[in-house]
Amino acid sequence: MIVIGCDHAAVSLKKAIMAHLDEQGIAYMDMGTDGEPCDYPDMAEALCAKITSGEAERGILLCGTGIGMSMAANKIPGIRAAVCSDCFSARYTRLHNDANVLCMGERVIGQGLAVELVDIFLHTDFEGGRHQRRVDKITALENKA
């Protein structure tokens, strides 16, 4: 299961991604918003709680740029969020960083590219191996805080 959420700046992009997920038969939980104003840190916290609790494996967070969502999400232990606006970054954030949250900005990318990035993010597995050591070091940094 994946979770998807946005602030009021990315409702159209969220709807396009959910329609694509429906077409692909991919189960997801819509965490909102549906247009009502909200603060992106609150949305990031609620969505990431679904991942850290084990209710969801990965998440998609959307705002105007994707940057605010990623900054908020990355404050939560166990979350590795990446802002992506190109296919290479979406692929390698999974392969090498085992990212569990994809962040994108409606004001930055179009819907066609966004659904392509979602597909890459959801269908690319973590390579592990030498990259696991680095992901473990990220976890160690979280534990120092």
Element (H, E) at 93: helix 87-95
CATH fold of 2-144 reads Ribose 5-phosphate Isomerase B; Chain: A, (3.40.1400)
Is there a contact between 100 and 70 (Cβ–Cβ < 8 Å)? no
Q: Give the C-alpha separation, 51 to 68, whole Å.
A: 19
Residue 131 among the catalytic residues: no
CB atoms within 10 A of CB 136: 10
Q: Is the pLDDT of residue 125 over 90?
A: yes
Structure token pair of residue 17: 């991604």
Pair of tokens at residue 110 = 């179009």
Burial of 130 (0-12, 13-18, 19+ CB in 10 A): exposed
Distance CA 96, CA 144 (A): 22
Mean pLDDT of the chain: 97
- 63, 87, 103, 123: the active-site residue: 63
Our answer to whether residue 63 is catalytic in this structure is yes
Instruction: Name the pLDDT band for 145 (thresholds 50, 70, 90).
Output: low
Q: What is the pLDDT of residues 55-105, one digit of tens each?
A: 999 999 999 999 999 999 999 999 999 999 999 999 999 999 999 999 999
Catalytic hit among 8, 20, 96, 131? 96
User: Domain locations in the chain?
Assistant: 2-144
For the cut 90, the answer to whether the pLDDT of residue 119 exceeds it is yes
